[in-house]
Structure 1
Amino acid sequence: MTNEWDGMTHDYTRKGGIVHAEIMLPAHAPPEFADRSILWNSVEQIEKARDSQLAREIEAALPRELSGEQQLALVRAYVKDNFVDKGMCADFAIHDKGTGNPHVHIMLTLRPLKENGQWGAKCRKAYDLDENGQRIPDGKGGWKNHREDTTNWNDKGNVEIWRAAWAACTNRALEAAGHPALVDHRSYKRRGIDKIPSVHLGPAASQMEKRGIRTDKGEVNRQIAADNKLLKEIKARITRLYNWSKAEAEKPEGQQPSMIDLWEAQQQLKRPDTRTGKIRALQESAALFSFLQANGIQSMQQLHEKIADMNTRYYDLRREIVKAERRIAVLTERGEMWAQYNEYKTVHKQLARVKPEKRELFEQRHSRELILYDAAARYLKELKDSGEEITPKAWQREIDLLTAQKQVDTIDMKAMREELKAVERLRKAADQLARQERDKPRDRGPER
């Protein structure tokens, strides 16, 4: 595809994994916009500023349960209902390299099209009005005014709307194909799930990770995966023990196994044959003895009450770990964008000193650095506009404090896991006693 703005030809034919590409247009769009080159050259020509945003990109994962034809039908329906019917031109490409990650990239135009097929304005001037609906003088012979968008396409609330629409479309497609609807656009937090979400790596970090180069975001995700695994394991253990101890504690007094009987029974559990196994078994017995003695547990009711306390403590620790990990992910991203801003700031300053006749060539040669600088600058500006201060050193100090506290909480969580393992020996012993009781021969009384 030839860019008529700079005369450069871009060859995408060798880009692998593209299984389908298509342009969808609103009814009043010029038919020639169905040609990708004509569409995007027209978009470039209408924009005059160097930093103009030319398009909006949306990326969405496609369900692997659907066939290629079903995935295409899903994308077409979603694009038509949410973008094309609103007046946007959409250029989408479905990628699938066979690695289990089918997804779609959707490029959307930002300017509205007039009924005659010409590009309209992105924004217009609107006058400020007083309480009587009259224009307000600016003291300079004119009127106070502001700029407002000509469409609602840039509303921040659209992100939520488009995500919800994608979830709904995907679930309908899954159900039509005989699969359960499993897609939920809401975050773990909004769904009441204390699972830590991973951070988005982005293309640069993803490529580095694939080459074996460890990145900050990759390290965050690895720690998040380890935390989630630990939390899931402990939750499963504590739920089993809570339900078991509750059922045992509710039995009549004479039917409850005593702690002495359980202790003796767990001592008789099958012993490992290996030296390492025997040592581990002795350590587990010692841990169980210490747990019972330290908590003064002498009955099943007391054991159940302790496990209930541990369950409460588990949720407290999990909440703190999840909260810390989420905050660390946010601060890590801020720090990376600050580093990116400083790394390419010099190139941006050099551009300002370049003579006008050489400016275009400089931009071509340093397009990657300038794009990364602009992305970082835009991110930091939005952060500042939201009321946050740009304080990289404070961000790092907070990360260090959160990491230290999370390590303490994680140590407590791991200690709880060891206690739960010890109590599981009692449950196994109770199961063994119950089997022995069932297997006892019944006294049928004297034969007549």
Structure 2
Amino acid sequence: IPREIPPDQYAVLVREFCQKQFVSKGMIADFAIHDPHPPGHNPHAHVMLTMRAMDEHGKWLPKSRKVYDLDENGERIKLPSGRWKSHKEDTVDWNDQKYCEIWRHEWEVIQNRYLEANDRPERVDLRSYARQGFDIVPTVHEGAAVRQMEKRGIQTNIGNLNREIRAANRLMKSIRQLIHNLKGWIAELGEKRKELLAQKAAEEATLLPNLLMKYMEIRKEERKDWTRAGQNRGTSQDLKAVSEALSYLRQKGLSTVEDLEVFLESSGKSAADYRNQMKPKEARSKVIDGILASRTDCKECKPVYEKYQKIFFKKTKEKFKQEHPEVARYAKAAAYLAKHPDDKDSTQKELQQEQEKLLSEIAELKVPLTEVQEDLKKLRDIRYWVQKATPGTEESKEPPKKQPIKEVLQDKTDEKKAQRTAQEQTKHRQQDMEL
């Protein structure tokens, strides 16, 4: 349930969804809303549904019906036993897997309608990241046991993996955004260069060092009303920043805007390559977590499951299953292990060692990704300076790196001093004229 809507609407939302999707089709829906401590952090609902139809008098109808198989001529097929070949069909299709996607979509629609009605900007999309076209790796589900251990400060393999995945996703998002912004600026700068070509100044204008020096001149002109001390301090800061930028450009072999564009393309490809190397390692680490957790569940739940298997009567067996959640846990864990037969003979120690190696490799691959991000941040500052030195280009929507607060306060003090000095000089000139 979305936390962004008021709590008094939780039941209204769930009831409307159940009424439209289940009750209107003939099912009985029994739902319970849970809001575990602390309140508001994870509100959710559990819904139980009937799979058998009921008539208008409240009498249960058959769950299935016999259907006779027909041959190519439309005739019944007789078996050697003398009986007719047949099969069972459900009287209702409520248990069909097609409804998984339908109900997920309808749950998305009704949540977004309630969010919109409450003037909330958030929207829900129940498609996976891959289906939405996002290059984002999903995190691993953390069960109650893992969350409790993490809360107590005990780091778990699943928790560590999720932290690595989140960090890598944030890193790639930052890199993609920086590359997108820088490419947009280069395109804008290219349009300005066409005008400069007409003035036969293109070659000089595309040299990044020339543009950075021009930026220093503009900054110096902007400070002409400051005090001498303020002007000197500002010039010193600009000189230091531009010198570092020029040193960085020389180190990377970047002297023109064209060089910068090629470097951006290369950086983007490098980042994507590193991320693609990380993805299979993260996926394999997820599988290992699943195998280890499933083995633990099988071991803990096996005695109960064996008791369940020995029960002969169907109703007694079903009742035992409902009263013992270990049965479902064992079945789920066994099914997961069956999907990964290649790891059947691997010991727990071998799997843990493999996972530790994978996490180490993921951390190593994150280092060059971080370096790419740092490069792009430096280019973002250079872009801002070059934009300011290139008349006609739109100033960056992305703000430049913030100046330390002490420097900001000092600059404001210098500006005020300059204003007072100018006012006093004007006053003295007026007095001299009166005399």
TM-score between the two structures when normalised by the length of structure 2 = 0.66
Aligned-residue sequence identity (percent) comes to 35
How big is the shift at 1:80?
0.4
1:358-403 C-alpha deviation (Å, 9 max, x unpaired)? x99xx69x9354342233235556x4xxxx7464467959967865
Cα pair distance change 1:346/1:313, threshold 3 Å = same
Cα pair distance change 1:94/1:369, threshold 3 Å = closer
Q: Which has the larger displacement, 131-140 or 146-155? A: 131-140
Q: Which has the larger displacement, 212-221 or 345-354? A: 345-354
Cα pair distance change 1:174/1:283, threshold 3 Å = closer
Report the AA paired with residue 259 of structure 1: L
**1:416 is aligned to 2:365:** no
CA distance in 2 between counterparts of 1:354 and 1:103 reads 35
Report the AA paired with residue 165 of structure 1: E
Partner of 2:47: 106
Partner of 1:258: 207
Which among 118, 136, 154 is matched to residue 195 of structure 1? 136
1:41-84 C-alpha deviation (Å, 9 max, x unpaired)? xxxxxxxxxxxxxxxxxxxxx22332234333222211101011
Whether the 8 Å CA contact 1:91–1:108 is kept in 2: the answer is: yes
Cα pair distance change 1:306/1:330, threshold 3 Å = same
Q: 3-state SS of the aligned residue for 1:105?
A: strand
Cα pair distance change 1:103/1:132, threshold 3 Å = same
Gaps of 5+ in 2: 197-201, 220-238, 396-435
Report matched runs for 1:353-372 at 5 Å.
367-372=324-329
Whether the 8 Å CA contact 1:246–1:304 is kept in 2: the answer is: no
**1:131 is aligned to 2:88:** no
Partner of 2:406: none
**1:184 is aligned to 2:125:** yes
Report matched runs for 1:50-129 at 5 Å.
62-96=1-35, 97=37, 98-129=39-70
How big is the shift at 1:150?
2.6
Report the AA paired with residue 286 of structure 2: A
1:216-240 C-alpha deviation (Å, 9 max, x unpaired)? 4333322221112211222232223
Cα pair distance change 1:168/1:352, threshold 3 Å = closer
Cα pair distance change 1:346/1:431, threshold 3 Å = same
CA distance in 1 between counterparts of 2:86 and 2:142 reads 41
Which protein has greater RCO, CA pairs closer than 8 Å, 6+ apart? Answer: 2
Q: 3-state SS of the aligned residue for 2:89?
A: strand
**1:310 is aligned to 2:267:** yes
Q: 3-state SS of the aligned residue for 2:131?
A: coil
Report matched runs for 1:259-274 at 5 Å.
259-261=208-210
Which among 379, 382, 386 is matched to residue 426 of structure 1? 382
Partner of 2:169: 228
**1:325 is aligned to 2:282:** yes
Q: How many residue pairs are counted as aligned between the two chains?
A: 355
Cα pair distance change 1:373/1:259, threshold 3 Å = same
Whether the 8 Å CA contact 1:172–1:181 is kept in 2: the answer is: no
CA distance in 2 between counterparts of 1:138 and 1:412 reads 69
Q: 3-state SS of the aligned residue for 1:80?
A: helix
Whether the 8 Å CA contact 2:17–2:110 is kept in 1: the answer is: yes
How big is the shift at 1:124?
4.0
Whether the 8 Å CA contact 1:94–1:103 is kept in 2: the answer is: yes
Report the AA paired with residue 85 of structure 1: S
Report the AA paired with residue 333 of structure 1: G
Whether the 8 Å CA contact 2:137–2:169 is kept in 1: the answer is: yes
Partner of 1:340: 297
Whether the 8 Å CA contact 1:137–1:143 is kept in 2: the answer is: yes
How big is the shift at 1:263?
6.7
Structure with the higher fraction of residues in helix conformation: 2
Q: 3-state SS of the aligned residue for 2:46?
A: strand
Report the AA paired with residue 410 of structure 1: K
CA distance in 1 between counterparts of 2:48 and 2:183 reads 52
Partner of 2:411: none
Partner of 2:306: 349
Cα pair distance change 1:235/1:156, threshold 3 Å = same
Partner of 2:433: none
1:256-281 C-alpha deviation (Å, 9 max, x unpaired)? 25233367689999xxxxxxxxxxx9
**1:161 is aligned to 2:111:** no
Whether the 8 Å CA contact 1:288–1:422 is kept in 2: the answer is: no
CA distance in 2 between counterparts of 1:404 and 1:393 reads 24
Report the AA paired with residue 366 of structure 2: T
CA distance in 1 between counterparts of 2:91 and 2:246 reads 70
Whether the 8 Å CA contact 1:195–1:322 is kept in 2: the answer is: no
Gaps of 5+ in 1: 1-61, 270-280, 439-448
Cα pair distance change 1:398/1:374, threshold 3 Å = same
Whether the 8 Å CA contact 1:337–1:376 is kept in 2: the answer is: yes
CA distance in 2 between counterparts of 1:228 and 1:143 reads 60
Whether the 8 Å CA contact 2:290–2:336 is kept in 1: the answer is: no
How big is the shift at 1:161?
0.5
Cα pair distance change 1:354/1:285, threshold 3 Å = farther
Whether the 8 Å CA contact 2:53–2:60 is kept in 1: the answer is: yes
Cα pair distance change 1:68/1:426, threshold 3 Å = closer
User: Which entry has the higher C-alpha Rg, 1 or 2?
Assistant: 2
